[in-house]
Chain A
């Protein structure tokens, strides 16, 4: 698994409290194939969303993104739909953990969320801890992840981390 640290894309601006039922309605939870899950990404919010969402797009949401269920189907669907990263004012804790564990880049940055509109272009440099709002020419510092989480991200998620440790 390679780790992307430079991410650039077009933003979809979403509101606060986007829950896991909005990201992936429960009736699709009997699917496990990520590609199929990706085809239903955010369908609970807007039935047409999966068609509008293009690979490389970014989600920019208000607070508490991913609240609700522990279903990993939610970050998996987002990742499989080709979303480059999720930027939010804050994340619900299980979603946060799941995203790190499966290697979906997430960025907590309340200031930028306020400033972004749908269609704006953003560039994220995870390694440098920088987020650029290309439309407005503004930049934001991202707080660094703690060392353990950096390691998780660096190896591409929890399973890779575990495999390395058990081999050691």
Chain B
């Protein structure tokens, strides 16, 4: 019987010719990831278990990104624990502040994840790497500890849901809008325990950044992983980055899916997800008048170069609204540098935005732009849960970078078209 790409990758990593949904397997991992938030617990577990060496010093990535550069003494201790462990274990992939970035933007950028890989990360957005045609999923710190010792992790083979996007994307509609729309349709547990396979002519034309954004938010529908079949765009991306062999898998034509959804992308407007769940997405035209206090453009969802490019395109020649703070966070050091060379950072600074070093920062209410009671933010991040960016009495609206930039200028949730209209009225 035919297998899906997810089933094929899992089978290849547990030495079986075939796996079926529901089957419990112990699989070999190609990479395990931990951050300053999740790795310290894993390291404690590792030590408690009396383990001496990690299973393979080349297959573990540790990096400080959430509360780094250290936001307080406690965070400094966590980063220190990471650094110390990486030194003791002579890990090849430890990346220090100044050389690093937000994990899910950084790992693909550095060619650390490749098509066909099986990756676990002690972070729920590890599913981002599905954009490369890898099986990648978030786990907890105990899983990370066990994997650092054994090089294995247990999995229940998920059923797959296939999503097919047809038609032509409208202007200003991005991967972020496609995924917010999809989550709006199926709900925050619409793909619980399952694999989301994203495909169709629209996807074929979507650049890698858009695919990363979509795979990133598979977890917001409860999915175990989001995955795209590797194609020319994938190969173009990994070429020059890959330093080891990799294998491209495709779903068989007769693979089994528990559901198939077909969407006409031409019907999809830029989306705005209302608090407190990513499933509360609405077309931009139905948002109404919502004044805002802060805009955050960044995160592992939308802090990549093309995201900054779109935002800069909107911002050029404008100023951030009097009542709004705009925080721009390039996701990695390399993206920061490239945005600088291309003049995007200058556009943001002239618009009176503040530019943060690469960090998760306010995305999880850590630092660099936490919200107070009653404050309302537009963010290009992935979660608008109660209290996610600070006070439980604050609100987060999720959008793509172009809408976020236009909103920052107008002081209310609005898209580039509304900005163009107001500019022509103003003239």
Contacts and interface: CB of A to CB of B under 8 A. Distances in A.
B partners with A: yes
B301 interface: no
Contacts of B50: 163
B365 A26 contact: yes
Nearest to A69: B124
B139 A44 contact: no
Residue among B37, B48, B122 facing the most chain A CB atoms (10 A cut-off):
B37
Interface residues of B, number: 51
Given A70-B121, A98-B142, 10 more contacts: A26-B364, A29-B37, A29-B66, A30-B67, A30-B78, A64-B188, A70-B126, A149-B24, A159-B145, A162-B49
A22 B192 contact: no
Interface in A14-73: 17, 19, 21-22, 25-27, 29-32, 44, 47, 63-64, 67-73
Contacts, number: 131
B141 interface: yes
Interface stretch (B249-257, B332-340, B380-388): B380-388
A94 interface: yes
Interface of B: 24, 37-38, 40-41, 44-45, 48-51, 66-67, 71-72, 74-75, 78, 121-124, 126, 138-143, 145-146, 149-150, 154, 188-189, 192-193, 219, 222, 224, 277, 364-366, 383, 385-388, 392
A2 interface: no
Nearest to A25: B387
Given A44-B392, A93-B222, A21 B386 contact: yes
Contacts of B392: 25, 44, 47
A9 interface: no
Nearest to A21: B385
Contact of B150 (A17, A63, A166): A166
B387 A44 contact: yes
Nearest to B45: A159
27 contacts: A17-B189, A19-B386, A22-B385, A22-B386, A26-B364, A26-B365, A30-B37, A30-B71, A30-B78, A32-B78, A44-B387, A67-B188, A70-B122, A70-B126, A70-B140, A72-B141, A90-B192, A93-B192, A93-B193, A98-B139, A101-B143, A149-B24, A159-B45, A162-B146, A163-B49, A163-B50, A166-B51
A97 interface: yes
Nearest to B25: A148
Contact of B189 (A64, A73, A97): A64
B85 to A, nearest CB: 13
B140 A72 contact: yes
